[in-house]
Amino acid sequence: MKNVETHYKTLGFGSFGMSALSAEIDVKDGKIIRTRGMHFDRAYSADYLKPWTLEVRGKKLEGLLKNDIPPFALVYKKRAYSDNRILYPMKRIDWDPEGERNPQNRGKSKFERISWDEATDIIAKELRRIEKEYGLFAVFCQGDGHGETKTVHATHGCQMRLMSILGGFTFQARNPDSWEGWYWGAKHVWGCDPVGEGDIGNLLLDIAENSKYLLHWGCDEETTPWGWCGQLPSRWAFWLTEVGVKQIYVCPDVNYGAAVHADKWIPVNPNTDVALHMAIAYTWIANGWFDEEYIDTHAVGFDWIKYYVMGGEDGVPKTPEWASPICGVPSRQIKALAKAWYKQATSISHVNGGSLIRSQFSAEPGRMEVVLMGMQGLGKPGRNVIKLIEWGLYGLPSQCPNPRSDLYMMPAAAYRSLDYNNPEVWDIRQSFIPKTMVPKAILGDYTVDNPLTWYGTGIAGWPKEDQFVKYQYPSKQAGTRIHMIWSDTPCWSTCWNGGYTLAKAVQSEEIEFVLIQHPWMENDCIYADILLPINTKFEERDIAVDSSNGYTNVMMIEPQCIEPRGESKSDYEAVGEVAKKMGVYDEFTGGKSEEEWIREGFENSGCQERVSWEEFKEKGYYAAPTSVGWENNPRGFAPFCEDPEANPLGTPSGKLEFYSTALAHHFPDDESRPPFPKFIASDDRLSESLLTERGEAYPYLIVSNHPRWRVHANMDDITWFREIETCKVKGPDGYLYEPVWINPVDAEGQGIATGDVVKIFNDRGWVLGGAYVTERIKPGVIYQDHGARLDPINVGEADRGGANNLIAPSEVAMKNTNAEVTSGYLVDFEKVDVFELAERYPEAFGRDFNAAGVKIDNWLV
């Protein structure tokens, strides 16, 4: 094509400066016209790259020379051109830093355009005032989400880099959301710091060669690998079928992976997996179907499990007949599954795990799964647990489900966000609040002497000893509560727990200033006092790495594709403008220009060992060949299995701790996370089980999966997706509602048909959704993805967009943790008449929308 320039970019939404998927962007006349997967062989030959081949029973799976990027990458240019972009700095009209601040109107009032100069003047003045009145620890920084993956122009956390230079702030510690059950549970059984997921080396091959069954347990490899690692898991699953591995799906919904690959679907009720686990253990113990020799040499504490499962503790043997009414799986199916799993090599596959690891008491299923694997000889051929996402996000050389490249690259030095895991950069323990406790901290009357307390920073990536350290808000070092929020991650309402309590917290008098920087007018942006416009990665030059695609590791220069829209800047540049007003610009940039940081990133990445800077710049990228002999790398837990003395686990005893000595020592009386796994329906804080009284009031469990057509809160405005019937359901008023899957049995009672609008509710509030009546969800369960864009009907009470996190519990999953409960909780639903609602809430229903959703104009004067 004439006059078309092709640029390399990584498109993926892991953020944190880590890996994203390499793509080629075609630009014509200053406009992006096309996106394709990167051809790795543009500058390096196939002979050099040596794509890998997996071959089992005569069937081959081959590495590609062109990246098979997911739909999110293909459509991402629409985000750059979104009508919903924030193009100028803005101020809430009724927030006057010199007079009335009207915090009660956050989420309700409109915004007016101001200049960058005016905005940064106000911000600098506020920072100085707050420093004088309370000290800088009163500034609370929220900067930890996923989103665009950028390095020099880091997506999240630039404001913390500035605040650390100024000398203080309170850090929002993001709980290990992706891994709760593994982090707080499994880690105490098999070690596996930092996140508690198992060792997955070379398992693509091990499972294909040795497993008879693969249990996709809370796993949809046709949806969630899209978030980080493209289409390889899908190709692998097709190949497994050819090779003869039977794929069994354990989940409440026929998810997209199940629809395509399942040999069998075991429909389980949300977050009741631990009952199913217990019944499997019961069947094994009752029949002697487990590996006693392995347990003797590789595990401690099996007697506790046996005692509990056989009913020794509470007089209730955990039989399949006991489990069946709880988990919804017929007892004969439980027995058949237990028998098959014992008789034949069986592995488990997760992307990260679904509700069972993000619901109440998630430590129980998290560690019971490891107990089951241990009972059948974890690490024996074909008996492992694969995490399909792991090479996606990190491409960690030690953890890759090989094959893999022979070089691991990371332009870490150029990453401009705060390095919060490095106490030499900034010790976050001086003052922090776990993300799951922020509303509680703001709404409670805690003081230094009467503080809110908890255990652990809870940040994914910290070693397990961290779980036993006690912290408090306000901290002694800070000596103050928080009075300002500075966020570059304005999707609390859509992605975190108990969103309606956050709405109340941000309207508190005590929060004097809410500053938000974001590319699009959505979600928590409506709570801002000042909004700063941020650009997309197409509008910046950067350096990037792709170790997510599974074919070859690529490091690249990312040229600028288009001009920044409006007056938008990158997060790094925006914070830089504030740094100028605070007189610390040189410290903030380290005295280096963008170009110099890109160069610095290259020099420290590992890539410089292979090519010169000049060659790298000229070719635009470096791609590493497949490593030689990867087939022989260790497979999952095989080294531990073969020699547990020489290859101990990271537990205190070095063995599988079915009974955790550390939990017993630190929290002997914690009934929400006892030393060994149990079945827990409720405690004095949480009762999100159908077995409780609340279950009678709200008789459905909701599954709130990671969205098929979004990455969390990202991309809810992509018109190409919104035309798809499982992406949005058109209501009678023409509004595109977030789908709610309802089984025909449950829909019938209320006369609900596809296209009707329903209200999902519990004692915490309600959200709307568009009914999608289907047998793909089991009866008694409804399913609505998380992350739909906020569109408040009544702030703190009702939402039209369908952001169901608003009605998720505020309590943490286990007492001495900061784990979230965002799925598998109790709700009810009923059909509503949207025209009647429109009369009752004229303002909300009067908001103008188009094919991309609610328009930005509704929020501007």
Q: What do you get for the CA distance between the two ends of the chain, in Å?
A: 43
Q: Which does 789 bind (CB under 5 to 8 A by kind): Mo ion, ligand MGD, none?
A: none
Please identify which residue in 111, 667, 823, 852 interacts with ligand MGD, judged by CB under 6 A.
Answer: 823
Count the residues of the shown chain that bind Mo ion, applying the rule CB under 5 A. Answer: 1
CB of 833 to ligand MGD, least distance (A): 27
Q: Does 217 bind ligand MGD (CB under 6 A)?
A: yes
707 binds ligand MGD (CB under 6 A): yes
Q: Which does 707 bind (CB under 5 to 8 A by kind): Mo ion, ligand MGD, none?
A: ligand MGD
Q: Which among ligand MGD, Mo ion, none contacts residue 239 (Cβ within 5 to 8 A by kind)? A: none
H or E stretch including 658? none
Query: In angstroms, what is the minimal distance from the CB of 105 to ligand MGD?
Result: 22
Q: Which of 168, 198, 252, 802 binds ligand MGD (CB under 6 A)?
A: 252
Rounded to the nearest whole angstrom, what is the least distance from the CB of residue 146 to Mo ion in the complex?
Answer: 7
Binding partner of residue 12 among ligand MGD, Mo ion, none, CB cut-off 5 to 8 Å per kind: none
Given 157, 379, 382, 490, the residue binding ligand MGD (CB under 6 A): 490
The answer to whether the beta carbons of residues 38 and 554 sit under 8 Å apart is yes
φ, ψ of residue 589 to 5 degrees: the values are -90, -5
Contact positions with ligand MGD (CB under 6 A) in 172-201:
177-178
CA distances from 133 to 33, 139, 163, 431, 441 (A): 52, 12, 16, 18, 20
DSSP 8-state code for residue 474: S
Using CB under 6 A as the binding rule, whether residue 159 contacts ligand MGD is answered as: no
Q: Is 770 in the site for ligand MGD (CB under 6 A)?
A: no
Residues 832, 573: Cα–Cα separation, whole Å:
46
Cα–Cα distance for residue pair 271/63, rounded to 1 Å? 37
Cα 631 from Cα 210, distance rounded (Å): 14
- Binding flag, residue 549, ligand MGD (CB under 6 A): no
Residue 705: name its binding partner from Mo ion, ligand MGD, none (Cβ under 5 to 8 Å by kind).
Answer: ligand MGD
CB of 846 to ligand MGD, least distance (A): 25
Task: Dump strand ranges (E) for 626-784.
Answer: 656-657, 700-703, 729-730, 736-737, 739-742, 757-762, 765-773, 781-783
Residues in the chain: 861
Question: CB under 5 to 8 A by kind: which of ligand MGD, Mo ion, none does 824 bind?
Answer: ligand MGD
Provide the minimum distance between the beta carbon of 52 and ligand MGD in the complex, in angstroms, as a whole number: 24
**Helix boundaries (H) for 582-660:** 585-589, 594-603, 613-619, 638-642
Contacts of 665 (CB under 8 A, 6+ apart): none
Token duo for residue 611: 């090519």
Nearer to ligand MGD, 218 or 401 (CB): 218
Which one of ligand MGD, Mo ion, none is in contact with 518 (Cβ closer than 5 to 8 A by kind)?
ligand MGD
CB 600 within 8 A of CB 151: no
Q: Tell me the HSE value of 284 on the side-chain side, using a 13 A CA sphere.
A: 26
Closer to Mo ion by Cβ: residue 251 or 495: 495
The C-alpha atoms of residue 10 and residue 151 are separated, in whole angstroms, by 11
Stretch that binds ligand MGD, among 53-61, 126-134, 817-825, 828-836 (CB under 6 A): 817-825
Q: In this structure, are residues 436 and 473 in contact, taking their beta carbons and an 8 Å threshold? A: no
Pairing of strands 246-250, 264-266: parallel
User: Do 781 and 703 meet the contact criterion of CB atoms below 8 Å apart?
Assistant: yes
**Residue 440 is inside which H or E element, if any?**
helix 438-443
- 353 binding ligand MGD? (CB under 6 A): yes
Sites for Mo ion among residues 168-197 (CB under 5 A): 178
The site string for ligand MGD over 253-292 (x = CB under 6 A, - otherwise) reads: x-x------------x-xx-x-------------------
Residues 6+ apart with CB under 8 A from 561: 7, 9, 25, 27, 32, 538, 539
Cβ 47 to ligand MGD shortest distance, Å: 34
Distance CA 430, CA 452 (A): 15
Nearer Cβ to ligand MGD, position 77 or 655? 77
Minimal distance, residue 217 CB to ligand MGD, in Å = 5
Contact between 539 and 82 under an 8 Å Cβ cutoff? The reply is no
Q: Which of 142, 170, 224, 501 binds ligand MGD (CB under 6 A)?
A: 224
Asked if 362 touches ligand MGD (CB under 6 A), the answer is no
Contacts of 612 (CB under 8 A, 6+ apart): none
Residue 386: phi and psi, rounded to 5, are: -100, 140
Q: What is the DSSP track for 358-410?
A: SSTTTHHHHHHHHHHHHHT-TTSTT--EEETTHHHHT--TTT--S--BS----
Q: In this structure, are residues 392 and 400 in contact, taking their beta carbons and an 8 Å threshold?
A: no
The entry of ligand MGD, Mo ion, none that residue 301 binds, CB within 5 to 8 Å by partner kind: none
Minimum distance of ligand MGD from residue 271's CB (angstroms): 4
**Least distance (Å) between residue 128 CB and Mo ion:** 37
Tokens in use for 342?
A: 């014992």
Closest CA to 473 of 171, 261, 266, 51: 171
Question: Looking only at residues 561 through 580 of this chain, which bind ligand MGD when binding is defined by CB under 6 A?
Answer: 571
Nearer to ligand MGD, 298 or 350 (CB): 350
77 binds ligand MGD (CB under 6 A): no
Tokens of 762: 């519990």
- Please choose which of ligand MGD, Mo ion, none residue 569 contacts, taking the beta carbon within 5 to 8 angstroms, the exact cut-off set by kind: none
713 binds, among ligand MGD, Mo ion, none (CB under 5 to 8 A by kind): ligand MGD
Instruction: Find the binder of ligand MGD among 63, 168, 198, 227 (CB under 6 A).
Output: 227
Listed in sequence order, the residues at least 6 apart from 14 whose beta carbon sits closer than 8 Å to its beta carbon are 20, 146, 149, 227, 228, 392, 393, 548
Q: Which two tokens stand for residue 861?
A: 């004067």
Q: How far is the CB of 721 from ligand MGD (least distance, A)?
A: 11
Contact characters 7-26, ligand MGD, x per CB under 6 A = ------x-------------
State the alpha helices, DSSP H only, in 414-515: 438-443, 492-495, 499-506
- Tell me the window of 17-25, 291-299, 311-319, 702-710 that interacts with ligand MGD (CB under 6 A): 702-710
Residues 507-546 that bind ligand MGD (CB under 6 A): 517-519, 523, 534
**Residue (of 786, 791, 788, 779) closest to 843 by Cα position:** 791
Q: Does 358 bind ligand MGD (CB under 6 A)?
A: yes
Taking the least distance from each CB to Mo ion, the nearer of 392 and 601 is 392
Q: How far apart are CA 666 and CA 394, in angstroms?
A: 32
- 705 is a site residue for ligand MGD (CB under 6 A): yes
Nearest residue (CB) to Mo ion, 357 versus 781: 357
Min dist CB 553 to ligand MGD, Å, is 20
Detail the DSSP E strand segments found in 593-668. Answer: 621-623, 656-657
Rule CB under 6 A: say whether 805 interacts with ligand MGD: yes
- Answer whether 387's CB lies under 8 Å from 233's CB: no
**Which C-beta is closer to Mo ion: that of 77 or that of 706?**
706
How far is 605 from 599, CA to CA, in rounded Å? Answer: 10
- The token pair at 698 is 């709200």
Q: Smallest distance from the beta carbon of 239 to ligand MGD, in angstroms?
A: 20
Nearer to ligand MGD, 473 or 783 (CB): 783
Number of residues located near ligand MGD, criterion CB under 6 A: 62
Q: Which C-beta is closer to ligand MGD: that of 158 or that of 623?
A: 158
Binding footprint of Mo ion on the chain (CB under 5 A):
178
The residues of the shown chain that bind ligand MGD, judged by CB under 6 A, are 13, 145-148, 155, 177-178, 217-220, 223-224, 226-228, 250-253, 255, 268, 270-271, 273, 350-356, 358, 389, 488-491, 495, 517-519, 523, 534, 571, 703-708, 710-714, 786, 805, 822-824
